[in-house]
C-alpha cells in the first residue's frame, strides 16, 4: 500500500508540476508577472520569493500544483503593472500560455519514451500461441510458435510493440498482413481481418481474435519446504509435462488440475535435465476463502518466456518517443470519440483509484515499467486538458478562438454559463470514473 501511495503521489505531483511549468515558462516570455508557483495544494509548508517577485511554494498536499499569474489590476496602477497582467496580452499570447501546459506534458512523454528506448528494455518476444478454433487468427492459418517479424511491412521488435499496433488497428477494424517466421525458419505472410470491437476492460480484444503470446511449458521455480511436492521429491527447474497422462500446456491449466484433485494421488510427469520422470504426488486439501476444498501441492510456478532487448540509438530513441507519443495521443482521442458514439464502453474510463493501483503495480515491476506509466499518464493529462470543456485549458482555447474570429472577447455571461456546464461535465466524469474504480474493486 505504501509503495502504491508513494508511486501515485510522485506521478501526479511530477506530471502536474511539469504541466504548470509549461504555463510558467511561456507566460514569463510573454511578459506576464507570476505571483506564485506552488508545488502541491493547501497549507504552504515552505516558500521563497525570487528577485522577480514570484513566490515559490511547497504546499501540504503533493497532488499537483498551480501557477498564479497577475490578473485584474486597478485602473490607477502604473502602465508597467498593467502590461504585466495576463488579460493585457494579445489573444495569441494568451492562447500560447494556455496551450503550453498540455504541450509540456506531451513533450515530457516524448522524453520519457526516448529515455526508455535509449537505455533499452527487456520485453517478451513476439511469439504467438496456437489460436483457438473459429477465431480470426485460426482462420488466417496462424500456428503455435509463429514469430511475428512485421505488421503491414512495419518491423515488430517485441510482443509489446505488436500488441500496441494491433490495438490501434482494432479500434475501427482493419485488414492486416503479418509477416511470420515459422519454427523451421521459413517466412510466410498471413492476412486476417480484425473486426471493430466494443472494447471492455474485462476482455482482451486480441485474445478474442486469437492473437495471444505463446507461454512456455510451466516449471517449478520453488518447492515449499514440508509440502506435498517436497515429500514427493519435486525439484526446482523441473518442467511440468503431464498430470495422469493428460498433457499440461500452461500454468493455469496445471493450477486448475491440482485444485480439482484434493486428497488424491496423481501421477505427475516432469522433465528433469531433459529426462522424463513420473512422480506420484499426494495432493493436499485446502479450504479457500469461500470454504471450498481445493487441492494444493506446494510449489511456486515459473516459465522461461523468451525475452528480447529493445534498444535504439539517441536520434532513433527521440524519433521513437515522438512516434509513440503521437500514436498514443491519437489512439486515446479515438477512444474518447468512440465512447461518445457508444462504440467503446465507458467502463474503460479509470479514476484515481485505478491510476494509483497501476502506479503501484508498475513501480513494483521496475523503473522501466514505471517510466512507461508516467509517459502514458502525462499524455492523458495533456489530452484531457485540451478537450474543449470550460474550466479546462481547452475551454479557454475555445474562447480565444472565438475572440480571434469575432474580434471581441467572449462575454462574462457566456463564460459563467460555460463554467457551470464545465463543472457539471467534470463532476459527471469524476463520478463515472469513481464508479468504474469501485466496481472493479468489488468485482
Rounded CA separation 194/162 (Å): 14
Structure letter (DSSP) for residue 33: P
281 backbone dihedrals φ, ψ, rounded to 5°: -130, 125
Among residues 299, 303, 304, 234, the alpha carbon closest in space to that of 272 is found at 234
Give the number of other CB atoms < 10 A from CB of residue 145. 15
Rounded CA separation 231/241 (Å): 19
Sign of CA dihedral 406, 408, 409, 412: negative
Beta-bridge partners for 269: 242, 278
268 backbone dihedrals φ, ψ, rounded to 5°: -100, 120
CA-derived radius of gyration, the chain: 28
Burial of 321 (0-12, 13-18, 19+ CB in 10 A): buried
Contacts of 413 by beta carbon, 8 Å cutoff, 6+ apart: none
Look up 20 and say whether it is catalytic: yes
On whether the CB atoms of residues 65 and 39 are closer than 8 A, the answer is yes
The gap between the terminal CA atoms of the chain, to the nearest Å, is 20
Rounded CA separation 266/279 (Å): 8
CA torsion, ordered 305, 308, 309, 313, to nearest 10 deg? -160
Among residues 218, 259, 223, 256, the alpha carbon closest in space to that of 240 is found at 218
Contacts of 442 by beta carbon, 8 Å cutoff, 6+ apart: none
Considering the candidates 20, 35, 181, 403, report the single residue annotated as catalytic. Answer: 20
Beta-bridge partners for 177: 191
Rounded CA separation 124/309 (Å): 9
Read off the C-alpha cell for 331: 489512439
**Catalytic center residues:** 20
Amino acid at each position: 500500500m505504501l509503495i502504491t501511495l508513494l508511486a501515485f503521489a510522485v506521478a501526479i505531483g511530477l506530471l502536474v508540476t511539469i504541466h504548470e511549468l509549461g504555463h510558467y515558462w511561456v507566460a514569463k516570455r510573454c511578459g506576464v508577472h507570476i505571483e506564485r508557483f506552488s508545488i502541491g495544494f493547501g497549507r504552504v509548508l515552505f516558500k521563497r520569493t525570487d528577485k522577480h517577485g514570484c513566490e515559490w511554494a511547497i504546499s501540504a498536499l503533493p497532488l499537483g500544483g498551480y501557477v498564479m499569474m497577475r490578473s485584474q489590476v486597478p485602473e490607477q496602477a502604473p502602465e508597467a503593472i498593467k502590461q504585466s497582467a495576463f488579460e493585457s496580452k494579445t489573444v495569441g499570447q494568451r492562447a500560447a500560455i494556455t496551450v503550453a501546459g498540455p504541450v509540456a506534458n506531451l513533450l515530457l512523454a516524448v522524453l520519457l519514451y526516448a529515455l526508455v528506448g535509449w537505455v533499452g528494455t527487456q520485453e517478451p518476444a513476439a511469439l504467438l500461441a496456437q489460436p483457438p478454433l473459429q477465431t480470426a487468427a485460426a482462420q488466417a492459418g496462424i500456428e503455435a510458435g509463429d514469430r511475428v517479424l512485421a505488421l503491414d511491412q512495419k518491423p515488430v521488435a517485441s510482443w509489446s510493440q505488436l500488441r500496441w499496433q494491433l490495438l490501434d488497428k482494432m479500434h475501427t477494424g482493419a485488414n492486416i498482413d503479418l509477416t511470420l517466421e515459422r519454427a523451421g525458419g521459413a517466412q510466410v505472410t498471413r492476412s486476417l481481418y480484425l473486426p471493430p470491437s466494443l472494447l471492455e476492460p474485462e476482455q482482451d480484444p486480441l485474445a478474442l481474435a486469437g492473437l495471444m503470446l505463446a507461454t512456455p511449458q510451466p516449471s517449478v521455480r520453488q518447492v515449499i519446504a514440508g509440502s506435498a511436492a517436497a515429500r514427493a521429491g519435486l525439484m526446482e527447474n523441473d518442467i511440468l509435462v503431464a498430470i495422469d497422462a493428460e498433457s499440461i500446456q500452461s500454468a493455469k491449466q496445471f493450477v486448475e488440475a491440482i485444485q480439482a484433485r484434493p486428497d488424491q494421488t496423481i501421477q505427475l510427469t516432469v522433465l528433469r535435465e531433459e529426462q522424463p520422470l513420473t512422480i506420484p504426488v499426494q495432493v493436499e486439501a485446502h479450504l479457500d476463502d469461500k470454504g471450498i476444498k481445493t487441492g494444493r501441492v506446494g510449489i511456486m510456478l515459473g516459465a522461461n518466456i523468451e525475452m528480447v532487448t529493445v534498444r535504439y540509438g539517441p536520434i532513433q530513441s527521440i524519433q521513437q518517443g515522438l512516434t509513440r507519443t503521437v500514436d498514443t495521443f491519437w489512439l486515446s482521442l479515438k477512444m474518447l470519440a468512440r465512447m461518445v458514439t457508444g462504440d467503446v464502453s465507458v467502463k474503460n474510463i479509470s479514476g484515481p483509484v485505478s491510476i494509483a493501483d497501476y502506479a503501484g503495480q508498475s513501480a513494483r515491476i521496475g523503473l522501466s515499467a514505471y517510466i512507461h506509466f508516467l509517459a502514458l499518464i502525462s499524455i492523458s493529462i495533456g489530452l484531457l486538458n485540451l478537450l474543449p470543456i470550460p474550466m479546462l485549458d481547452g475551454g479557454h482555447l475555445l474562447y480565444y478562438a472565438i475572440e480571434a474570429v469575432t474580434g471581441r472577447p467572449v462575454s462574462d455571461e457566456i463564460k459563467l454559463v460555460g463554467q457551470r456546464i464545465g463543472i457539471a461535465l467534470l463532476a459527471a466524469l469524476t463520478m463515472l470514473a469513481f464508479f468504474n474504480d469501485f466496481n472493479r474493486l468489488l468485482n
